[in-house]
Structure 1
Amino acid sequence: MDPTGPLVSQPIVQIDGVVTGLDFAANGDLFYITQNGGVYRKAAVDGELQNDEPPRRLLQLAVAEGTETGLLGLALAGDFADSGHLFLFYTVADEAGAPAGARLERYTLQTNQLTAPVAIVTNLPATAEQQYHYGGALQLGPDGRLYLIFGDRNMLPEARDPATVPGSILRFNIDGSIPADNPFPGSPVYAYGIRNGFGLAWDGAGRLYETENGASCDDELNLILPGADYGWGVHPYDSCPYPDDTGQPPVQQWTQIIAPAGLTFYDGQRLPEFAGDLLLCAFNQSQLRHLELNEAGTEVVREEIVTVPGIIDPCRVVVRSGLDGWLYMANGRMIHRLGR
């Protein structure tokens, strides 16, 4: 590896469906999910992912699949190497295939199957009348808790009410119970006033960031603080640009929408120009964007569009810094990686 050499992009998996989440096991195995309910593993060989090693489908869930519903979140347990546990967030289908609830479940990997499903959170609202804005980004935090973006479901007043879960970032113990140190006692709500988001990531200092999609303007990158209000739910959809309000101000705001989706902080060695910095997918333009923050993590001091060799649409929903130093992302055709 020459960290000063030219950038290269390598295909890893040809995909069938929209990739909505991916994660890595400590041995290098890649796990990913598709919106239509598929859960897959691409096994590493001696710790390395090989282009010619086919993925294996571990599970096919029956989900309520729509434009913004389906299988939306994936996170491996911190003790995955021993327990085989992973977590999935998805919208449940009724007999007609429409949303009839949303849930968080734990599965156990047994050889090449996911077995022993345990529903750890089952009371998240989803209905046939509300098929948009479910968010779905799911991450295991550095504190060992599960964090989940649950969108406003187009119900603006609920997003501004910390007593309801829509329009919030939720925080759970890994058994689905509510942590005693959550900001609102007895509630999974960690932060609220959020329209719809597709990305969660922590920087090297342990600060949590979230991407949020605006309606017709004002997409945001937010620094998430426990108990904070991020302002969505006050103004109608047609009030663009949105007036200033009392919500927590964003770290970055895009008046011309880009639909920021997955994000990651790069912690590898193959791409030293990105060291410690944030990278995100801009869904509308299928771009990979690089953002450098100030030392306090409260302001973007530089933003650029990353040119990925040979691919004009590199990044749609997910991007992740790999354990091997490569930067992994997906478009509508494949999962591929960027590095040197």
Structure 2
Amino acid sequence: MDPTGPLVSQPIVQIDGVVTGLDFAANGDLFYITQNGGVYRKAALDGELQNDEPPRRLLQLAVAEGTETGLLGLALAGDFADSGHLFLFYTVADEAGAPAGARLERYTLQTNQLTDPVAIVSNLPPTADQQYHYGGALQLGPDGRLYLIFGDRNILPEARDPSTLPGSILRYNVDGSIPADNPFPGSPVYAYGIRNGFGLAWDGAGRLYETENGASCDDELNLILPGADYGWGVHPYDSCPYPDDTGQPPVQQWTQIIAPAGLTFYDGQRLPEFAGDLLLCAFNQSQL
């Protein structure tokens, strides 16, 4: 790639289904998940992904499929190269196939399959209407903790209450226990007043940012502070523009809906002009 030329997109794999998460191993292998429960690896050659190397399915998970349910989050363990551990967040199906809650599980990569599932968090309740606002962004932080966006389940008062899990960013140890330095003792809640978000990323200084989808207006980029309230649920659902007198103010707000999703801070070498910049996907605009 010519670093002085324009940016171009180059397909590396054709995917059936909706990709809901991805992560890279240290050797360049790409791991990704699809909403219908598939977990895949596309192996890298000398650290580079190749067009002619097909992805391999490692697991087909039974999930509760719906508009915003299914397999929603993926994160590789910090010691993945040695342990083979990775984490999945998904909605659990009842006997009728409807969502019966959500679960965070750890799996172990053995050759070309994921084995030994361990449920490390299994007390995440279902959404009220069974289909919407599970969030699902899952990331391993620079502190070695797991961070998960768990949506408001379309019940605004729960996002206002830090004693409940919905409408929050949750923080766990990798075994599912609660870190002793969480802002609310004995609780995984790290920040609350969150509607429904799909992206988490840390900058070079270790500051956490989150993308949040508004209702009919006011998508946000937020700087996440421990124990902070981000204001969702104070005013009615259809309040547009959403009043700015509530909670921690956003770093960036879009009046026009763009549906911000994944984000990352650029720390590569090929595009030095992007060094430290935040790159963000706008789902509704099909733009980066």
Q: Say which SS state the counterpart of residue 6 (structure 2) adopts.
A: coil
Whole-angstrom distance in 2 between the partners of 1:188 and 1:231? 19
CA distance in 1, matches of 2:242, 2:6: 42
Give the alignment's TM-score, normalised by structure 2: 0.97
1: CA distance, partners of 2:232 / 2:9: 38
Contact 1:99/1:128 (8 A) holds in 2: no
Match of 1:14, SS state, is coil
1:278 CA displacement? 0.6
Aligned to 2:152: 152
* 1:5-33 Cα shifts (integer Å, max 9, x gaps): 34332211100111010001111110000
8 Å CA contact retained: 1:90, 1:103: yes
Deviation track 1:22-73 (CA, whole Å, cap 9, x = no partner) reads 0011111100000010000001112221110000000000101111110000
Q: Distance in 1 between matches of 2:61 and 2:2?
A: 42
The one-character-per-residue Cα deviations of 1:70-125 (angstroms, maximum 9, x if unpaired) are: 00000000000000000000000112211001000000000000000000000000
Paired with 1:17 and 1:187, the residues of 2 have a C-alpha distance of: 35
TM-superposed CA distance for 1:130, in Å, is 3.0
Residues in 1 aligned to 2:91 and 2:10: alpha-carbon distance in whole angstroms: 33
Consecutive unaligned residues of structure 2, counting only runs of 5 or more, are: none
Q: Which has the higher contact order (CA 8 A, sep 6+)?
A: 1
Q: Secondary structure at 1:175's aligned position in 2? A: coil
CA distance in 1 between counterparts of 2:265 and 2:127 reads: 34
Answer whether contact 1:108 1:117 (CA < 8 A) is retained.
yes
The normalised TM-score by structure 1 is: 0.83
- Is the 1:100–1:128 Cα contact (8 Å) retained in structure 2? no
On the 8 A contact 2:147/2:170 being kept in 1, the answer is: yes
After TM superposition, what 4+ stretches of structure 1 lie above 4 angstroms from structure 2? none
Q: Deviations over 1:279-305 (max 9, x none)?
A: 111111111xxxxxxxxxxxxxxxxxx
> 63-72 or 104-113: which moved more?
63-72
Shift of 1:128: 6.8
Distance in 1, Cα, partners of 2:242 & 2:11: 40
Q: How many Å separate the matches in 1 of 2:178 and 2:145? A: 10
What residue ranges of structure 1 are gaps of 5+ in the alignment? 288-340
- Can you list the C-alpha shifts for 1:252-283, whole angstroms capped at 9, x where unaligned? 00111111111111111222232111111111
Instruction: From the superposition, tell whether residues 95 and 128 of structure 1 become closer, same or farther in structure 2 (CA, over 3 Å).
Output: farther
Residues 144-187 of structure 1 show CA distances to partners (whole Å, capped at 9, x for unaligned) of 00000000000100001000000000000000000000000000
SS at match of 1:12: coil
Q: Check 1:5–1:286 CA distance in 2 against 1; reply closer, same or farther (3 A cut).
A: closer
1:51-70 equivalent positions in 2, closer than 5 A: 51-70=51-70
Query: Aligned-pair distance for 1:127?
Result: 4.8
Identity of counterpart residues, as a percentage?
97
Contact map agreement 1:89 1:105 (CA 8 A) in 2:
yes
Residue 224 (structure 1) shift? 0.1
Matched residue SS, 2:257: coil
Contact 2:161 2:192 (8 Å CA) reproduced: yes
